[in-house]
Structure 1
Amino acid sequence: MRFKMLPAPPADLDRVREAQRAVPLVPGDEQDCCARLQRRLGFPSRDVSRTWLTFLRALELARETDAGFSRTDREPTVEHLRRSFLDHVLLAPETLAAVAAVTTGGEDDASTAEMDTDSTAETDVDSTAETDVDPTAQRGASVDAVFGRIREAVPTYEHHKNPDTWESIWRDRTADLLGWLALLGFLESVDVDADDAADAGADGVADAGDAADGDRYVLTDRGRATLDAEG
């Protein structure tokens, strides 16, 4: 099972441990658990608390039973958080793979399928792919570039649920996914100034809008090893 709810990434992983400790050992209903999280961690709203409670379930640090919600006895070690995040958070593996594709000029599935069906087309596509690799891609992937890669993987029900806003909602969620992947050591954020962002804007690797949030992302050795292990 994969969970959609994802809080904004905190400053460090200690916040995850604090959130787990705020969930009661004795099961309580959602309202009581959210109130407890909000009170102990100073969350600004009940909705933020609910998002964190769901996220803790994704990380296997909290559980829902017939009696209510309670924390598990799992230790929130970095290795456990890394594994659970990739295994249980919606589009987490796809986001990591998208950063690799953007920063290495990787081909998408459609291009690969075309190469498999026609040997002549294979030569043409390979040549085009080499030509299209922009050196700016080596400087990191922007939120917009990564969202462009995972956009088709967003569940269809999200389109119907928010027909006018689903793209902006999932663009923001992509930013949070990238932030968590960086916090967990799979990615490294790279600062980008306004001039670099504007220069790279044409190809989607970074655009002027990214100057505001100032980050692009590259894979760490751990991120590359994880993708290699996934095959």
Structure 2
Amino acid sequence: MQFKPVPEPPADLAAVGSVLAAVPETAGAVADCCGRLVDETRLETREAAETWLVFLRALQLAAAEPAGYRRVPTDPFAADALETESLRRAFRERVYGTEAVLEALADADGPFTDDDAFDAVRDESARRDTRRNRDRDRDRLRRLLEWAVLLEAAERSSDGFCRGRP
């Protein structure tokens, strides 16, 4: 299963741990998981909290159950809880569009810009050809590239993005 929501990436993985720590350990332990994330983190809206919950699920750091979300059994602040290699693998396999973007980066002869990313995956986006959707798709691809940098699947250069670790 692949997931589409991609939140704005934080400055570092420690911030991911902070959001993860706000996810209840037990599904149903809080009546409003999105509200809890807004109250206990720097997230400002329920929509941002919902995006983060789905993204944490994609990274296999949270699980969705009938009673609500719960974090997987781990200490979000432990040194190995946010181990980059496993997060990178989940990101590549479980976040929609990541594989195509990373393959395009690997095939690029030089630095890869946001526009290059959009052009590389345009075939997938062509069916949603309204201006609003193109702008939203470009923004999502920018976030994918920034998450790829955070997870070391890409590197940022002065001219754009380059291939990182597989």
TM-score, L = length of structure 1: 0.64
Does the Cα contact within 8 Å between 2:24 and 2:30 map onto a contact in 1?
no
Indicate the SS of the match to 2:4.
coil
The answer to whether residue 27 in structure 2 is matched with residue 60 in structure 1 is: no
Question: What is the distance in 2 between the residues matched to 1:96 and 1:12?
Answer: 20
Please provide the CA RMSD for this pair.
Answer: 2.0
SS in 2 for 1:94: helix
Conserved in 2, the CA contact under 8 Å of 1:37 and 1:43? yes
The sequence identity of aligned pairs, in percent, is 34
Alignment coverage as a number of residue pairs: 160
CA contact (8 A) 1:29 1:69 kept: no
Q: Output the CA distance in 2 between the equivalents of 1:155 and 1:88.
A: 22
Q: In the alignment, what sits opposite 2:91?
A: 85
Q: Does 1:178 align with 2:122?
A: no
Larger Rg over CA atoms: 1
Give, in whole Å, the separation in 2 of the partners of 1:80 and 1:49: 23
Helix, strand or coil at the partner of 1:188: strand
Moved over 3 A (4+): none
Is 1:95 aligned to 2:101, yes or no? yes
Tell me the equivalent position of 2:163: 219
Q: 1:168 is matched by which residue type in structure 2?
A: D
Q: Which residue of 1 aligns with 2:78?
A: none
Deviation (angstroms), 1:11? 0.2
Deviation at 1:186, TM superposition (A): 1.6
Shift of 1:14: 1.0
How far did residue 29 of structure 1 move?
A: 8.4
Deviation at 1:30, TM superposition (A): 9.0
Structure 2 segments unaligned to the other structure (5+ residues):
75-80
> Equivalent residue for 2:8?
8
Q: Secondary structure at the match of 2:24?
A: coil
Separation (CA, whole Å) in 1 of partners of 2:31 and 2:119? 37
Q: Deviations over 1:134-160 (max 9, x none)?
A: xxxx3x11100111011112384xx2x
- Specify which structure has the higher proportion of helix: 1
- Residue of structure 2 aligned with 1:153, choices 121, 124, 141: 124
| Separation in structure 2 between the aligned mates of residue 30 and residue 172 of structure 1, nearest angstrom | 32
Q: Unmatched 5+ residue regions in structure 1? A: 105-137, 193-215, 227-231
1:190 corresponds in structure 2 to 157
Quote the Cα distance in structure 1 between the aligned partners of 2:126 and 2:32: 31
- Counterpart of 1:76? 82
| Separation of aligned partners in 2, 1:35 and 1:20 | 14
Shift of the 29–89 alpha-carbon distance from structure 1 to 2, 3 Å rule, reads farther
What's 2:135 paired with? 168
Task: Find the aligned partners of 2:14 and 2:106 in 1 and give their Cα distance.
Answer: 28
The AA in structure 2 aligned to 1:99 is: L
